Amino acid sequence: MNKKMNKTSSGSRIENKLKDVPARGDKGLIAYITAGDPNLDATVELALAMGEAGADVLELGVPFSDPVADGPVIQAASQRALAGGVTVRGIIGAVEQIRQHSDVPLVLMTYYNPVYQYGLERFAADVAEAGGDGLILPDLPPEESGALLRATDKYPIDLIPLVTPNTPDRRLPLICERAGGFIYCVSVTGVTGERESIVTDFSAMTAGVRRHSPLPVAVGFGIARPEQAVAVARHCDAVVVGSALVNIIARHSGAPGMVDAVCRRVRDLKNALTGPEVSDVAAL
């Protein structure tokens, strides 16, 4: 497997994967875990197993001590990982191990400070060499992303933007102009975390994004259960599930059944997004 061949003239590995899934009448599942929780060996094992269980894209959180978008569950996971000594370099090494055994698209989600401290071009180069595909930085507005874009443009790394319920329509062209991989629509105003109900008008949000970008559209934050995933999926190409999986890891950390417990939820979510039921929803 050539680790560097993760982008082609017809699109990146992320974009192609998330376009291929809806073309079959299904919806994509993007699964998030915090890298290094409970340790990096477990992260590699979890990532490989989740890919086999049905995750179409894997999102690995790079822990940061001062997050702005992470809710309590992911903050706690980041603190556990940092206390265990996880580093950016170690996480990039985990990406390389995952890529040696899987073609699943890999996205790193973190904040600007760790990337800046590592060195923008060095970070892009090392992630690309390891086989990573994308990067999400919730605290980096498009107006300030020029330096990072210049670095990622030299390598096959998608810089994936976020759109929130409060994003005004006038900003969508700027956000979508240099986007790669997919557009991440945040389902709620606030931080990550499981929610009983989500009342955002996804139809208006995703329709606005689609007017400005041909990229796949994913919705995340607050989605935990299969029925929630199906309800959201009618408006997008993929759903993102994170805190629910991180919470399972926390409850089973150190236990032999941790990987199986996470993969059961991944399979349940993917099964809900596959087949006649979601095909009917996709046609609405």
Structural domain count, the chain? 1
Contacts of 240 (CB under 8 A, 6+ apart): 30, 31, 32, 59, 184, 218, 219, 220, 221, 223
Q: Does residue 186 lie in a domain region?
A: yes
**Per-residue model confidence as pLDDT tens digits over 96-110:** 999 999 999 999 999
State how far the alpha carbon of 147 is from the alpha carbons of 51, 112, 136, 155, 181, in Å. Answer: 32, 11, 15, 14, 19
Band of pLDDT at residue 203, cut at 50, 70 and 90: confident
Phi, psi of 83 (to 5 degrees): -65, -30
Q: Which residues lie across from 134 on neighbouring strands?
A: 107, 158
- Which is higher by pLDDT, 24 or 155? 155
Q: What is the pLDDT of residue 258?
A: 97
**pTM score of the predicted model:** 0.90
Q: Summarize the confidence of residues 112-137 as an average pLDDT.
A: 97
Q: Does residue 239 lie in a domain region?
A: yes
Alpha helices in the chain (DSSP H): 13-23, 40-53, 72-83, 88-99, 112-118, 120-130, 146-152, 172-177, 202-210, 226-233, 243-252, 258-272, 276-282
Could you give the 3-state DSSP secondary structure of residue 184?
strand
Q: What is the pLDDT of residue 182?
A: 97
Q: What is the pLDDT of residue 247?
A: 94
Expressed as residue numbers, the domain containing 270 is 15-282
Q: Does residue 8 lie in a domain region?
A: no
Residue 125's CATH number: 3.20.20.70
Is-contact 182 210, C-beta < 8 A? no
Band of pLDDT at residue 191, cut at 50, 70 and 90: very low
Q: Does residue 230 lie in a domain region?
A: yes
Q: Does residue 9 lie in a domain region?
A: no
Could you give the 3-state DSSP secondary structure of residue 258?
helix
Q: Which residues are known to be catalytic?
A: 59, 70
Contacts of 242 (CB under 8 A, 6+ apart): 31, 32, 33, 59, 61, 74, 192, 220
Q: Does residue 203 lie in a domain region?
A: yes
- Which is higher by pLDDT, 260 or 4? 260
Answer whether residue 8 shows pLDDT above 80.
no
Band of pLDDT at residue 204, cut at 50, 70 and 90: confident
DSSP string, 74-117: HHHHHHHHHHTT--HHHHHHHHHHHHTT----EEEE--HHHHHH
Q: What is the pLDDT of residue 48?
A: 98
Q: Summarize the confidence of residues 48-68 as an average pLDDT.
A: 91
Q: What is the pLDDT of residue 2?
A: 35
Q: Does residue 83 lie in a domain region?
A: yes
Please, what is the Cα angle at 186 between 14 and 252, to 5 degrees? 80
Band of pLDDT at residue 254, cut at 50, 70 and 90: confident
Share of the chain above pLDDT 70, in %: 86
Answer whether residue 157 shows pLDDT above 90.
yes
Mean pLDDT of the residues in the chain? 88
Answer whether residue 277 shows pLDDT above 80.
no
Q: Summarize the confidence of residues 9-35 as an average pLDDT.
A: 90
46-60, 61-75, 181-195, 249-263: least confidently modelled range: 181-195
Answer whether residue 184 shows pLDDT above 90.
yes
Q: What is the pLDDT of residue 60?
A: 98
Q: Summarize the confidence of residues 182-194 as an average pLDDT.
A: 67
Q: Summarize the confidence of residues 135-142 as an average pLDDT.
A: 93
What's the rounded Cα separation, in Å, for the pair 138 and 70?
10
Q: Does residue 3 lie in a domain region?
A: no
Answer whether residue 281 shows pLDDT above 70.
no
